[in-house]
Amino acid sequence: MKKLSDFDYMLIEFDASRNKEIEYLRQQFVNQYPVSFIEVMQYKDYILGQKNRDNFCYQIEVGLRKLGSIQGATSKNFGMYQDRNTGKIILADKWNVANSPELTFNKIRKAILRLIEDGKMNNRHGIITSEISQMLRYKILSVYFPTMYLSVFSENHLNFFLAQFYEDSNAGDQFSGIYDKQMGLISFKNEHPVARGWNGIEFMTYLYRVFPQVNSIKDKSDIKLVSNLVDSVKSRKQLVMNGEIRSIKKLSNSRKQNIPRENSEENVPSVKGETKIDFAERQKRLNEIGSLDEEIVVKYEKNRLANYPNLARNVKQVSLTDDSLGYDIRSYNEDGTERQIEVKSTSSLKSKKTGILP
């Protein structure tokens, strides 16, 4: 069984503040549709298909798409909807009460309120037996209770994530449904000192960043185990003296990083019996090397400031956005003053040294 840090040695660098826009959208929805409003909501405030997009179903499906997609589910999964062509109100069979939109929605409304109450109490039985369709059910829970539930509603995606942690492509089979699979992933989140402070939306964003392969999963047969993302840096040694990085040893065998040596055969194509160095490719490789080691320095700085989360959160690899500053990493001392770190690489792939600029 693996932990989050087994996959991502840069985990501490994840900037949860990138979710501010998503959190704003979520809060805006909850403010627009609080429980007190749902209790008196009419079906015209709920149904999908109207030209007016200011309704519960449209906003939770499309307006909150960034909180996890439930698109692809049929309109019937909402229990009722309005045909866009005819304007007729269509009632799903399992919700239909006397062919009456008002009575049918009254049944749907009660189910939503009951789900929100069960979600608040983390009532597993009430949640998994809810009549609300699964994708809508867990989208509602993640929106109203982002600290308790994940914004991941696809069983295929949940199965993929669980497979990575359990190192078993069939790991999802040991969980009975979406609820238990979400709780299983949340338990992995809570084992990490940084991740345990994230809510379900932030963790969802992080999982999709670390495992982009999940987006190609169509069914269970597509699930494959992902190699550790830290393999290429496990052999790096950080030598720390007086609280500062003095040097970072690189891998002696550059092929372990999948980065050809400057004069390797991979980087020197043969031309009519002669060799010709591809200088553009060489520079690209050197840039990759420098970037990798700058990431190592960022990780070190964030770890050094672990007891000062506000400072650690603001450590940045500024070279990614501005190469004119004269330094690569902006960090901080414990008193809040700025540390400007220049990371220098040698072309021999043997060492890297960092210096603190005044």
Q: Confidence band (pLDDT; 50, 70, 90) for 322?
A: confident
Of these ranges, 5-9, 161-165, 223-227, 290-294, the one predicted with the greatest mean pLDDT is 161-165
**Residue 256: what pLDDT?**
37
Cα(128)–Cα(69) distance, rounded to whole angstroms? 20
Question: Mean pLDDT over residues 159-186, rounded?
Answer: 95
Q: Which residue has the tokens 């169509």?
A: 218
Distance separating alpha carbons of residues 204 and 149, to the nearest angstrom: 10
Tens digits of per-residue pLDDT, 135-152? 999 999 999 999 999 999
| Structure confidence at residue 103 (pLDDT) | 97
Supply the pLDDT for residue 220.
Answer: 87
pLDDT at 268: 38
Q: How far apart are CA 342 and CA 339, in angstroms?
A: 10
Q: Is the pLDDT of residue 313 over 50?
A: yes
pLDDT computed for residue 261 by the predictor: 40
Please give the distance of CA 2 from its chain centroid, rounded to a whole number. 18
Antiparallel, parallel or unpaired: β 80-82 and 270-271: unpaired
End-to-end Cα spacing for the chain: 45
Q: Tell me the per-residue pLDDT of 265-284, one tens digit each, with 9 for 90 and over.
A: 443 344 444 445 555 555 55
Give me the mean pLDDT over the 63-80 stretch.
82
pLDDT given for residue 125 in this prediction = 97
Indicate whether 252 pLDDT > 50. no
pLDDT tens digit sequence for 18-61 = 677 888 899 999 999 999 999 999 999 999 886 778 899 999 99
Edge-to-edge order in the sheet of strand 338-345: 237-241, 244-249, 351-357, 338-345, 329-332, 316-317
CB neighbours (10 Å) of residue 136? 21
